[in-house]
Amino acid sequence: MNMMEFTFDDPVQILLDACHAGERLPVSELLARLDGESDESIYEALEGLEAKGVAISLEDLPVFAVDSQTHVRLRREAQLVAEKALPGALEENDPLRLYLEELALLPACGDLPVLADALQEANRKEDSENPVYMQVMNLCLSRVVELAESYAGKGVLMLDLIQEGSMHLWQKLFAYTQGDLEAFRDRAIHSGMVSAVVVQAHAAGVGQKLRQALEDYRGVDEQLLTELGRNPTLEEIAEAMHITPAQAAVVADMVQNARNLNRVKQPEETQDTPEEAEQAVEDTAYFQMRQRIMELLSNLSEADAKLLTLRYGLEGGAPMTPQQVGAKLGLTPEEVVAREAAALSQLRTK
């Protein structure tokens, strides 16, 4: 195949311009195009894709981990999920086990479809103190765990996935206006967890490896085209790259995605769409939610409030990983996770 040129100029804008509601963007394409970009650009792209209703597929995500200790833990969590051995197979003082055991003790507090109307009414009245938010949240926590299990082993520890999914859902509850609340819940949880995986993969340099694979594939394809006088087969490209045909097929799909995205035309100027107006409402609700969280933080110790502020970017900065927070506060990532879980548990009682 004769490869057309593709570039990675202005990757965030290219992605946002190219993708449309209902589409699924392969995570390999996202990471390759955002390789070398700042954390702020990563969050900008993730927020923009979510606002446009674009889902990110993790099916072609390579196995990765930020360090060997995390890699071992990720493999164990994936194994325990597959064996349905959580939480009992974990050590008694394991933070994930403690959280799951605490969650199991929460009493049922209503029916989600029934609470949908009350949630919609609370948002219409901007009644952020309404207990319906916590009722809905408590009903959804078990679903958060279920969805976290589907991402076990994908570069982010399960407790982090649970916390990211829960926080994202909490934020989105203040933007719910109508429709299937269960589907709304699942989209919000998935979005939070996928974003966590993308951010962690970016930090681990996965995008650089994927981008290099794209460049290698293109170079080998052009070289073989010259040498053979014909388009090389996938098997021939795989042999020259010293990878399997299945791996070469994955890279070939990435190449095609890159070519498609570079054919995007610049959108014409239009008036605000209903989706953009809805996003404006969501931004207002998000601001109100942040105000509520800051009020709740006053119930914590200064150290725990600082930890949550850094972890979720509550003062305007980008959210930090447990490793980054630990480096700031002189704690291990495990200590950050444990203290975060305890602080969030304390907030749920307020």
**92, part of any domain:** no
> What pLDDT score was predicted for residue 13?
80
CA atoms of 146 and 103, how far apart (whole Å): 12
Residue 232 within any structural domain of the chain: yes
308 CA to centre of own chain? 18
State residue 84 phi and psi, 5-degree precision.
55, 45
Asked whether residue 273 is domain-assigned, the answer is no
**245, part of any domain:** yes
249, part of any domain = yes
- Asked if residue 184 belongs to a domain, the reply is no
pLDDT of residue 251: 79
Structural domain includes residue 145: no
pLDDT at 93: 93
Report which secondary-structure segment, H or E, holds 56.
Answer: strand 55-57
Name all contacts of 209-212 with Cβ < 8 Å and 24+ positions apart.
Answer: 209/62, 210/28, 210/31, 210/32, 210/35, 210/62, 210/254, 211/8, 211/32, 211/35
Domain count, the chain: 2
DSSP state of 265: P
pLDDT at 121: 94
The whole-number pLDDT of residue 225 equals 82
The CATH number covering residue 308 comes to 1.10.10.10
Local structure of 4: helix, strand or coil: coil
pLDDT at res. 270: 46
User: Looking at 214, 242, 261, which one is the last position of a domain?
Assistant: 261
Give the other-Cβ count within 10 Å of 20's Cβ: 9
Residue 67 identity: D
125 vs 260: CA distance, rounded Å: 44
Name the DSSP letter for residue 155: S
* Domain range enclosing 336: 298-350
CB atoms within 10 A of CB 133: 22
The H or E element that residue 315 is part of is none
What are the φ/ψ torsions at residue 128 (nearest 5 degrees)?
-70, -15
Q: Residue 212: its pLDDT value, please?
A: 81
In a domain, 82, yes or no: no
pLDDT along the chain (350 residues), means of 10: 45 81 87 86 92 90 84 94 95 94 83 91 93 92 95 94 95 93 95 94 86 83 83 88 82 72 47 50 47 71 85 68 84 85 73
pLDDT at 350: 61
Residues 240 and 14 sit within 8 Å (Cβ to Cβ): no
Residues ≥6 apart with Cβ < 8 Å to 198? 27, 30, 31, 42, 46, 56
